[in-house]
Amino acid sequence: MNIELLNPFGQDFPESVGSTLEDCALCARFNSTGRFVAAGRSDGWVTVWDLETKGVLRSLEGHPKAITSISWSRNSKYLLSTSRDWNCVVWDLASGDRRETIRFDAPVVGATFHPKNSKLVLATLVTHQTFLVDLRSDRVQRSELFDVVPAEPSGNDMEEVVPRDSSSGRPKPTMTVARFSPNGKNIYVGTSQGIILAFNARTKQLQNRIKVTNNSSVKHMEFDRSGKYVATNSNDRVVRIFQVNEATQTLELLHRIQDMVGRTPWNGISWSGDGEYVIAGAAHKAAHTIYVWDKESGNLQRILEGPKEPLVDVHWHPQRPVIASVTTSGLIHIWSTSTAENWSAFAPGFEELEENVEYVEREDEFDIEDEDEILRRKRIEEDFDVDIGSGDERDGPPSKAPGRSGASAGEVDDAWAAEGGDDDDEEDFFPPVVLEDFLEEEDVF
């Protein structure tokens, strides 16, 4: 059935495993439309699955060691894979070839594209260092982010003692996970000391340091689609939900979520497409369990129990109540709701019958309408003027507000990210299907 015909007021989180993709995955991510799933494998390959056909669209070979993370560009034309072979590879899904290879001096634990430009990459290494890589042709550079706070008046909360490397005098690397804010203006970095660092993406300057845990390392950090909320998972086995103030780069704690009975650690967190729920995969040794919490109240809504196999990663579909979870054996389970077929949704007045009945036609059901009358009505409708514009719209870019001189800091940050933009501008991009040429063999009798 068409997705558009499903009940929009139905259950907004899945119930059970609907299908399974047989792979050797370590991590899996939906693209921005949820049409594809990219899986990073233990053998260094990357596979792209089509959820509609449950078939593989691309098999990408480029890493000799296991994949550690996967990231999609904004319109799904490019895919970023990281590995323990010290490399980040940007794949062009239109051709299936490499677009860029970024080499680091240590294994890469995670990387992500800038939300507005796939030529900006944020990567975190196993050495607890974070780099912002600019691949634009006119400014190719690699910038390391440092926990250095600009001079502030005494009494400021940001004046906190920062551990330093005795050999170089620089701040000691403690960064474990890094994410762009959804608008791309800021970078938030979690550290092994339980601190979240807020950087300006353009200037790479540290704006704020927020203490979120009691010296427990931040393992995962995910923003909702609006950018107003962020969820973190740390080594103290607590999932925290914060409200984000982008103007001041501050976080307000809303909920602390944990398993009070079993003290369960979590392997991955994710937001629902509408931002109403937060999920986390439990790190049980003999169970495949996903916990679903409500963002507003922090209450547990549902515990999803799957096959008896440990869970290593989890991700929620960006638009529908569908979840992808990865097992230790590499299988990708697709969780969905069980939807009853409603054939009356295909046509108004369509009635489903429980048993056979004798049909009685209406008096005017098969009457033939006069063609001249139909043609006359069409001509009348064509005479009406159609307003395809609105108000005082004008061609060209919008003018600046009166009284403003120069651009604001936010406008400068947006312009910086858009400069030298990429060609990932085709919405709902679908990789071209490549058919292999087979030689026809002669029949042997």
CB atoms near residue 322 (< 10 Å): 22
Percentage of the residues of the chain whose pLDDT score is greater than 70: 82
* Residue 348 in this model has a pLDDT that exceeds 60: yes
Q: Which residues contact 269 (CB under 8 A, 6 or more apart)?
A: 220, 222, 231, 232, 233, 239, 278, 279, 280, 281, 314
Q: In this structure, is residue 84 part of a structural domain?
A: yes
Residue 109 phi, psi (nearest 5): -95, -20
Query: Any idea which of 43-52, 63-72, 430-439 has the lowest mean pLDDT?
Result: 430-439
Q: In this structure, is residue 261 part of a structural domain?
A: yes
CB 176 within 8 A of CB 217: yes
Highest mean pLDDT, choosing among 157-166, 317-326, 396-405: 317-326
Q: In this structure, is residue 143 part of a structural domain?
A: yes
| pLDDT value at residue 432 | 83
| pLDDT value at residue 166 | 54
Query: Any idea which of 136-145, 313-322, 353-362 has the lowest mean pLDDT?
Result: 353-362
User: What is the domain extent for residue 102?
Assistant: 11-336
| pLDDT value at residue 10 | 58
Q: In this structure, is residue 363 part of a structural domain?
A: no
Highest mean pLDDT, choosing among 161-170, 190-199, 351-360, 394-403: 190-199
CB 122 within 8 A of CB 91: no
| pLDDT value at residue 394 | 45
Rounded average pLDDT over 15-19: 91
Give the pLDDT confidence of 118-131 residue by residue, as tens digits. 999 999 999 999 99
Per-residue confidence at 372, pLDDT binned at 50, 70, 90? confident
| pLDDT value at residue 352 | 76
Helix (H, G, I), strand (E, B) or coil at 124: strand
| pLDDT value at residue 368 | 78
| pLDDT value at residue 157 | 47
Instruction: Identify which of 332, 316, 328 has the alpha carbon closest to the alpha carbon of residue 284.
Output: 328
Quick one: DSSP state of residue 5? G
Q: In this structure, is residue 341 part of a structural domain?
A: no
The residue among 176 and 151 whose pLDDT is bigger is 176
Rounded average pLDDT over 214-220: 94
* Residue 86 in this model has a pLDDT that exceeds 50: yes
Give the pLDDT confidence of 284-321 residue by residue, as tens digits. 888 999 999 999 999 999 999 999 899 999 999 999 99
DSSP string covering 185-244: SEEEEEETTSEEEEEETTT--EEEEEE-SSSPPEEEEEE-TTSSEEEEEETTS-EEEEEE
- Residues forming a β-bridge with 70: 81
Q: Identify the CATH number of the domain in which residue 210 sits.
A: 2.130.10.10
| pLDDT value at residue 403 | 43
* Residue 263 in this model has a pLDDT that exceeds 70: yes
Q: In this structure, is residue 43 part of a structural domain?
A: yes
Q: In what order do the strands lie in the sheet with 45-50?
A: 25-30, 36-41, 45-50, 55-61
Query: Any idea which of 153-157, 311-315, 361-365, 387-391 has the lowest mean pLDDT?
Result: 153-157
Cα separation, 110 vs 84, whole angstroms: 10
Cα separation, 84 vs 100, whole angstroms: 17
- Sign of the dihedral through C-alpha 200, 204, 208, 209: positive
* Residue 100 in this model has a pLDDT that exceeds 50: yes
What totals of helices (H) and strands (E) does the chain contain, helices first?
2, 28
- Which H helix or E strand runs over 364? none
Query: Any idea which of 153-162, 232-241, 252-261, 357-366 has the lowest mean pLDDT?
Result: 153-162
Cα separation, 173 vs 130, whole angstroms: 8
Query: Any idea which of 172-176, 268-272, 414-418 has the lowest mean pLDDT?
Result: 414-418
Terminal C-alpha separation, the chain: 47
Distances (CA, A) of 181 to 186, 310, 435: 5, 31, 39
DSSP string covering 6-68: S-TTS-SS--EEEEEE---EEEEEE-TTSSEEEEEETTSEEEEEETTTTEEEEEEE--SS-EE
Percentage of the residues of the chain whose pLDDT score is greater than 90: 60
| pLDDT value at residue 444 | 44
Residue 412 phi, psi (nearest 5): -65, -40
Angle, vertex CA 257, rays to CA 29 and CA 173, nearest 5: 65
Cα separation, 345 vs 110, whole angstroms: 44
| pLDDT value at residue 301 | 93
Per-residue confidence at 156, pLDDT binned at 50, 70, 90? very low
Query: Any idea which of 132-146, 240-254, 329-343, 430-444 has the lowest mean pLDDT?
Result: 430-444
Query: Any idea which of 64-68, 112-116, 186-190, 357-361 has the lowest mean pLDDT?
Result: 357-361
Q: In this structure, is residue 430 part of a structural domain?
A: no
The count of domains in the chain is 1
- Which H helix or E strand runs over 80? strand 78-83
* Residue 404 in this model has a pLDDT that exceeds 80: no
| Averaged pLDDT of the chain | 85
Rounded average pLDDT over 137-161: 67
Query: Any idea which of 80-84, 346-350, 424-428 has the lowest mean pLDDT?
Result: 346-350
Q: In this structure, is residue 31 part of a structural domain?
A: yes
Per-residue confidence at 110, pLDDT binned at 50, 70, 90? very high
- Residues forming a β-bridge with 282: 266
| pLDDT value at residue 266 | 95
| pLDDT value at residue 382 | 78
Give the pLDDT confidence of 18-43 residue by residue, as tens digits. 999 999 999 999 999 999 999 999 99
